[in-house]
Amino acid sequence: MTWAFAAAILCAGLAFEVTRAYAVLGVLAMAGVGGTIMIRTAVSVDRGLREARDAVEAAVDTHLETLARRRLNLVTRDHYGVLTDGGWDAEIDHFLDNVVAPELGPEGRRALFGRSRRDGYWQRLIEEPVFARARAIDRQLAFTETLSPAEFERWCEKMLAKAGWRTTATGASGDQGADVLAEKNGVVAVLQCKLYGSPVGNKAVQEAFSAQRHYRADLAAVVTNAAYTPSARALAESTGVLLLHQSDMDQFDALAAARA
């Protein structure tokens, strides 16, 4: 082998190693860029999730009373004592979409909408404090499902009297659709009291509306321990009848003033 040939082989080997070294450096550089992107993405997702979680917790704290009363209204027991949703999941979705989402930036909104609602994460975040408050409201009202329909009417009357209303229970006959008549500061109200094991329908709304006209009352309301059918809610909207859950009775004055 001549010295010239040996030198040529050596130069070629050095050139290959240099090329391979640059190739390795290039791969490492590309991996570094990709890794940086992945890290930045992970940080962004984590930041968005924290933002969304903080916003949900703040919104629940602000609206805890309303959420607790909505839960009491929507989550009820059927004839068999089984809890029925009654639209509570839809209420949570409405709360997240219309109360929480407008307060979020782009990262927070991506976290809120990117995570499946049905995996239970956001529901659990809302449900725990809301359920605790709803249970406390029930205890404060000292309401029990063992009441008879007549006892429930007396319970509604008692709650109004406690708030300063002068009340009269009409009894089983001759009530013209009113179970309780009440007056306070010149305002006359008529109540239909329905202790039900299923959603209250149109008939109760019609009776309350008829009683309002008969007694020339300023306000008509239906009070129940259960929920209301969609058609009952639609009829109440057109007639002005106030639909209440038993948990609403301790804030009757405020709800009546809002409807007036």
Query: Higher confidence at residue 137 or residue 218?
Result: 218
For the cut 70, the answer to whether the pLDDT of residue 231 exceeds it is: yes
For the cut 90, the answer to whether the pLDDT of residue 7 exceeds it is: no
The mean pLDDT value for 148-173 works out to 82
User: In the structure, what pLDDT confidence band is assigned to residue 46 with cuts at 50, 70 and 90?
Assistant: confident
The mean pLDDT value for 105-122 works out to 81
Least confident range of 8-22, 53-67, 175-189, 202-216: 8-22
Query: Higher confidence at residue 234 or residue 172?
Result: 234
Q: What number of other Cβ atoms are within 10 A of residue 100's Cβ? A: 22
State phi, psi for 92 to the nearest 5 degrees: -65, -45
- Residue 145: HSE in the Cβ half-sphere, 13 Å Cα cutoff: 11
Q: What number of other Cβ atoms are within 10 A of residue 182's Cβ? A: 25
Max intra-chain CA distance, the chain: 128
Q: Give the model's pLDDT for residue 208.
A: 94
pTM of structure = 0.54
Tell the burial category of 122 from Cβ atoms under 10 Å away from its Cβ (0-12, 13-18, 19+): buried
- In the chain, where are the structural domains located? 1-141, 149-259
Q: Give the model's pLDDT for residue 214.
A: 92
Domain 149-259 in CATH 3.40.1350.10:
yes
User: In the structure, what pLDDT confidence band is assigned to residue 161 with cuts at 50, 70 and 90?
Assistant: confident
**Which tokens sit at 89?**
């999941």
Q: Which pLDDT tens digit goes with each residue over 19-39? A: 444 444 444 444 454 555 444
The mean pLDDT value for 156-175 works out to 78
Q: Give the model's pLDDT for residue 23.
A: 45
User: In the structure, what pLDDT confidence band is assigned to residue 70 with cuts at 50, 70 and 90?
Assistant: confident
For the cut 50, the answer to whether the pLDDT of residue 13 exceeds it is: no
Across the beta sheet with 242-245, the strand order is 166-169, 180-184, 187-194, 219-224, 242-245
Query: Higher confidence at residue 76 or residue 253?
Result: 253
**Which tokens sit at 246?**
């038993």
Q: What is the mean pLDDT of the chain?
A: 79
Query: Higher confidence at residue 171 or residue 136?
Result: 136
Spatial separation of the C-alpha atoms in residues 130 and 118, rounded to whole Å: 18
Q: What is the β-pairing status of strands 180-184 and 166-169?
A: antiparallel
Q: Give the model's pLDDT for residue 170.
A: 74
